[in-house]
Amino acid sequence: IGGYELSHYRKGVKVRAKTDALDARLLARYLNNEGHQLHPWTPPSPLYCRLVSLFRRRAALVQARVSLKQSWSNEPLLKKAFENQIKAMQRLEILLEKTIQTQLEAAGLGAQLKRCMKVEGIGLLNGARLLTSFQRGDFRNADAFIAFLGLDLRISDSGKKKGRRCLSKRGDPEARRLMHNAAMSARRTAAWKGFYEALRARGLSTTEALVALARKLARVVFALLKNQSEYLPKGI
């Protein structure tokens, strides 16, 4: 049972107070009404925890490096020392990427990573992050995998009115950022350029088209991992 969902359930059934006794009644009510849709929680594997930690540390390092470069761009007095600092951060960033790859290879997932990287737009980091997410659970289908990444759309329609579509963003933000980067790269390739341009021709904004392309890439990678099949580029 997720605390986020239970909190909104409390508001939906108009429970205005929060005490231990009321929480117990609320849990019993929730389980009675929604229990058939729940499934047992399984703890993440040590490999998954290590990889997610490495990805998050790399994201924090990149964010800090970019922020420092922007704030120190007009500082001439310590230019040489700052350049050395940036180079040290870049070396650490490369080390983190190599460590991620080493962890996957040590777990016997090197071939799986190469399978992911055959998809146009998917590089080492994008493929490693998708492979890490795939290891978290036994996803029923591609839609469940997309939802885990937080790339699924939240629809808000009422009658004839179509509300604004937005991402649920329930997954790891670093995974979505890396998939956005993958879409940015894929849209320039012959395999995905037509798909991206067709989305733009339908009236989708650049961001919307990139999100749709990121979802498509994630679906392709999921199919490869789920079926243990090899990627065949379009036209082959």
Of 129, 135, 153, give the one whose Cα is nearest residue 143.
153
Residues 148 and 169: beta-carbon distance below 8 Å: no
| pTM higher than 0.95 | no
Rounded CA separation 225/133 (Å): 11
Per-residue confidence (pLDDT) for residue 75, from 0 to 100 = 83
Residues 26 and 8: beta-carbon distance below 8 Å: no
* Between 91 and 33, residue with greater pLDDT: 91
- The CA-based diameter of the chain, rounded to the nearest angstrom, is 67
Phi, psi of 235 (to 5 degrees): 95, -5
12 pLDDT above the threshold of 60: yes
* Between 90 and 163, residue with greater pLDDT: 90
Q: pLDDT digit string (tens) for 84-94? A: 999 999 999 99
Q: Of the ranges 9-13, 49-53, 90-94, 219-223, which one carries the lowest mean pLDDT score?
A: 9-13
Phi, psi of 154 (to 5 degrees): -100, 115
Write out the H or E segment, with its range, that includes residue 153: strand 153-154
Rounded CA separation 201/101 (Å): 38
236 pLDDT above the threshold of 50: no
Average pLDDT, the chain: 90
162 pLDDT above the threshold of 50: yes
